[in-house]
Structure 1
Amino acid sequence: MDDQKTTPAQSRQKPTRPADPAPPVTAAPPRRRRLVPLVVAVLIVAGAVAWWHPWNRGGTSGQPQEARQGARRGANPMNQPQPVHVATVSQGEMPVVINSLGTVTPLANVTVKTQLNGTLMNVAFTEGQMVRKGDLLAQIDPRPYEISLRNAEGTLARDQALLQTARLDLQRYQTLLSQDSIAKQQVDTQASLVKQYEGAVKSDQANVDTYKLDLTYARITAPVSGRVGLRQVDPGNYVTTGDTNGVVVITQLQPISVIFTTSEDNLAAILKPLHAGTKMSVTAYDRANTTALEAGYLETVDNQIDTTTGTVKLRATFQNKEGMLFPNQFVNTKLLVDVIRNATIVPTSAVLNGSSGAFVYVVKADNTVTVRNVKTGPVDGERTSVKSGLQVGERVVIDGSDRLKEGAKITIPAERAAGASGASGASGASAAAPASAASGTRHHRRQQQPQ
């Protein structure tokens, strides 16, 4: 009890503290909420300033786009001379050629079949052999037909004898009738018998001719000259006229033809010289269109146009002495329609295409280039004729034009400049030019536009 008593001094040292009340929930100060829209507006303005400031456009706003592109390339800046190859515009003959696709088609492709039934005794050809018209190919057993022939000849001889006797009797009867010794009816009967025997003799003669023809058919000969294919039947087999495969197939190779198509728009240029009797030259090239296989002439034009394709078929014939054309072979054809004389000619690689049409880079005396629009004519592989825009003797860029623009300076490597007629000198970059000068294909050059 005494322990629980406290003195007044102890009471003053340990005063009793009331419990802390819970903090009241209050909203943010109104001044902080007003600052949020202001901060957002400041950020928007700063972003707009950064977007439109010149440094965001690479710091080259005062330079032309071509110069900026040249700076980004890092090599061959546009203000430095560019190495190019050039060619001189020449004058010469330009052939007008129509290029087409065609198929080699033999003038004759014959399946040799037997014309009578019988046993095949022997085959007289070798597979792949060249044969001439009339050569023996196979022999059918002729003995049954020889027997039939002799029988028909015997019947013919008998009926001929009967006819001769009947004619003699008719003459005697006519004499007796003139003497009024026999009746006229007997003479008429004898005359009918003579006609009957005459008919029998004709029938017998036809049988003889038939069996002789069968003996001819027993020898199977080549109906055309050409190359024989694989043998379809072996000796010892019984062949009939109903066999669909026949004995062998002969394909005529010399001469041979090529059937190709061309647009109906070319008909006027083709028919005019053809109707005038001009022999129009046609050259057949291989599938890659790089190697000439054979030269021939246009033979004929089909009598109608295919309405679905707007094309017409043509046939050209070739002697094919070297055997370079094979049936059903795919070939490229070049039909020579005309020859333009004194044409202005440049290498095909010099002609570029832009939004304004065809153009070339012409080299001026101060070794700068200028863009010149041209009007092109017929194209013959690596040569292109120009109708207007160039003069003979001018120089044009044939390689390296993808790095040029109007007024650009150029350098020409030590390699000789190529003429328009020598396309081989116009192709390929010089070893003195940088590696980048050798890049840039013809396709890329044709797609660029003049600056």
Structure 2
Amino acid sequence: MQISRPALIALALAAVAGGGWLLSSKSDQSTPPKAESRPMPVVTRAVEAKPMPVRVSAVGNVQPLSVVPVRPRAEGEVIKVHIQEGQEVLAGDILFTLDARPAEAARRQAEANLARDRAQLDRAKADLARYAKLLETGSATRQKVEQATADVAVLEAAIKSDQAAIDNARLTIDYSAIKALVPGRTGVVNAKLGSLAKPSDSQSMVTITQLRPIRVSFAVAESVLPRIRSAMAQGELPVKVTSAADPGLAATGALTFIDSAIDTQTGTIGLKATFANDDTRLWPGQFVNVSLTLGTEEAALVVPAESVQTGQIGTYVYVVTPESIAEIRPVTVDRVLDGLAVIAKGVGAGDKVVIEGQMRLGNGVKVVERTAGAPQ
């Protein structure tokens, strides 16, 4: 049988396709070559043992030692305002002057009453002496003597009342000059010239806020309290405050107050530090970063903070063994200061920890050390 030319071409194409399929099947069944494993490049740093301060950090709020709302002690018209809003005043400075003329008139009246009653007392004493002599001779009755004695007692009581009225009038006159009880900065002046000031007014005439010295209130975890109390027993504890809003702020004060009870809802204890605040950089209501120094740990184990990782097992670091193998080492971080983590447990001085390249590591991975910043 004779095969046509088109049929021969079709058979040839089929044979070529079949051969390619066989080659492909053999290739799929072969095992791919094993990729060659290579060490992971990392940057390491040795664990150091060096002196490190023991610090407690917190967020604090600036509070004045005293905020005094000024109110009058006696009623009167404001006849002079001696201050301006936002002015610095000293204790004893006159803030307002009230009209003291009614009090002065009351004082003069009380002094006149005192002079009158003293004169009447002198006459009553003379009458009492005269009646006492007449009683001895029988020319006066005992009733007359008793009446004269009562008159003397009444006038003596009147004199004491007159003196009290004079003292009260003088006190009212003193109250007409309203003075600052504490040094500080004045707020809004609510008492205007010509207004009537009364002790019962709900609004104060002005409020004085003491700025020097000033306090910063903050809270720390209750677990730190024993260390704070132990450090305070050794002497004054320095406290430093800074502020992101005021980069130039770096005030140093001292811890002066520990609250009498722990807040059971938050598990914290309230503390206060006092600052001289001579430059008034600390302002009431301001939020600041607080750093309380409890002392110095002479041989603290420190590593760069970036070497500490957090995972399902907690905090850990990668330690490079002498055989250049990465090993996961769980650690306990006591505190972090200025980019350095102080390790309480988990590593020893001289151990090499990985500070760059942790993302590609696992336990038992071969590593090779490189210089920081060098190309990988």
Q: Shorter-chain TM-score: which interval? A: 0.7 to 0.9
Q: 1:171 aligns with which of 129, 141, 144?
A: 129
Among all aligned residue pairs of Structure 1 and Structure 2, give the percentage whose two residues are the same amino acid: 34
Q: Rate the CA distance shift 1:272–1:167 in 2: closer, same or farther, 3 A.
A: farther
Contact 2:74–2:175 (8 Å) recurs in 1 = yes
Q: 1:385 aligns with which of 335, 339, 342?
A: 342
Matched letter for residue 150 of structure 1: R
Per mean C-alpha deviation after superposition, the further-off stretch among 96-105 and 398-407 is 398-407
How much has 1:159 moved relative to structure 2? Answer: 1.1
Deviations 1:56-102 (A, max 9, x none): 9xx87966xxx9xxxxxxxxxx7266263x43432222233232233
Give the structure 1 partner of residue 12 of structure 2.
none
Partner Cα distance (2:120, 2:28) in 1: 129
Instruction: Kindly report which structure 2 residues correspond to 1:31-70, keeping only aligned pairs within 5 A, or say none.
Output: none
Give the structure 2 partner of residue 376 of structure 1.
333
Partner Cα distance (1:113, 1:139) in 2: 12
Partner Cα distance (1:159, 1:147) in 2: 18
Instruction: Kindly report which structure 2 residues correspond to 1:290-329, keeping only aligned pairs within 5 A, or say none.
Output: 293-329=250-286
Greater share of strand: 2
Aligned length: 348
Partner Cα distance (1:142, 1:288) in 2: 48
TM-score (norm 2): 0.81
Give the structure 2 partner of residue 162 of structure 1.
120
Residues 1:99 and 2:57 are matched in the alignment = yes
Give the structure 1 partner of residue 315 of structure 2.
358
Give the structure 1 partner of residue 359 of structure 2.
402
Matched letter for residue 327 of structure 1: P
Give the structure 1 partner of residue 292 of structure 2.
335
Contact 1:369–1:410 (8 Å) recurs in 2 = no
Give the structure 2 partner of residue 417 of structure 1.
none
Contact 2:40–2:361 (8 Å) recurs in 1 = no
Contact 2:38–2:366 (8 Å) recurs in 1 = no
Give the structure 2 partner of residue 145 of structure 1.
103
Contact 1:170–1:190 (8 Å) recurs in 2 = yes
How much has 1:363 moved relative to structure 2? Answer: 5.0
Instruction: Kindly report which structure 2 residues correspond to 1:188-337, keeping only aligned pairs within 5 A, or say none.
Output: 188-274=146-232, 276=233, 278-286=235-243, 293-337=250-294
Partner Cα distance (1:55, 1:113) in 2: 97
Matched letter for residue 410 of structure 1: E
Q: 1:411 aligns with which of 358, 370, 375?
A: 370
Partner Cα distance (1:187, 1:103) in 2: 76
Specify which structure has the bigger relative contact order, considering alpha-carbon pairs within 8 angstroms and separated by 6 or more residues. Answer: 2
* Greater Cα radius of gyration, structure 1 or 2: 1
Partner Cα distance (1:95, 1:55) in 2: 65
Matched letter for residue 284 of structure 1: V
3-state SS in 1 of match to 2:49? strand
Partner Cα distance (1:357, 1:55) in 2: 45
How much has 1:166 moved relative to structure 2? Answer: 1.6
Matched letter for residue 140 of structure 2: I
Matched letter for residue 191 of structure 2: V
Matched letter for residue 278 of structure 1: G
Per mean C-alpha deviation after superposition, the further-off stretch among 199-208 and 404-413 is 404-413
How much has 1:114 moved relative to structure 2? Answer: 1.4
Deviations 1:209-237 (A, max 9, x none): 11111111110110111111121122122
Q: Rate the CA distance shift 1:333–1:61 in 2: closer, same or farther, 3 A.
A: farther
Q: Rate the CA distance shift 1:312–1:81 in 2: closer, same or farther, 3 A.
A: closer
3-state SS in 1 of match to 2:367? coil
Partner Cα distance (2:186, 2:160) in 1: 41
Give the structure 2 partner of residue 119 of structure 1.
77
Q: Rate the CA distance shift 1:229–1:288 in 2: closer, same or farther, 3 A.
A: closer
Contact 1:283–1:335 (8 Å) recurs in 2 = yes
Deviations 1:141-179 (A, max 9, x none): 122221121111111111122122222322333333344
Q: Rate the CA distance shift 1:61–1:182 in 2: closer, same or farther, 3 A.
A: farther
Gaps of 5+ in 2: 1-24
RMSD: 3.1
3-state SS in 2 of match to 1:223? coil
Partner Cα distance (1:242, 1:162) in 2: 40
How much has 1:116 moved relative to structure 2? Answer: 1.8
Per mean C-alpha deviation after superposition, the further-off stretch among 282-291 and 292-301 is 282-291
Per mean C-alpha deviation after superposition, the further-off stretch among 240-249 and 105-114 is 240-249
Matched letter for residue 117 of structure 2: D
Partner Cα distance (2:191, 2:33) in 1: 86
Matched letter for residue 392 of structure 1: A
Matched letter for residue 281 of structure 2: M
Partner Cα distance (1:265, 1:81) in 2: 41
3-state SS in 2 of match to 1:409? strand
Deviations 1:233-261 (A, max 9, x none): 22122222222222111001111112222
Give the structure 2 partner of residue 446 of structure 1.
none
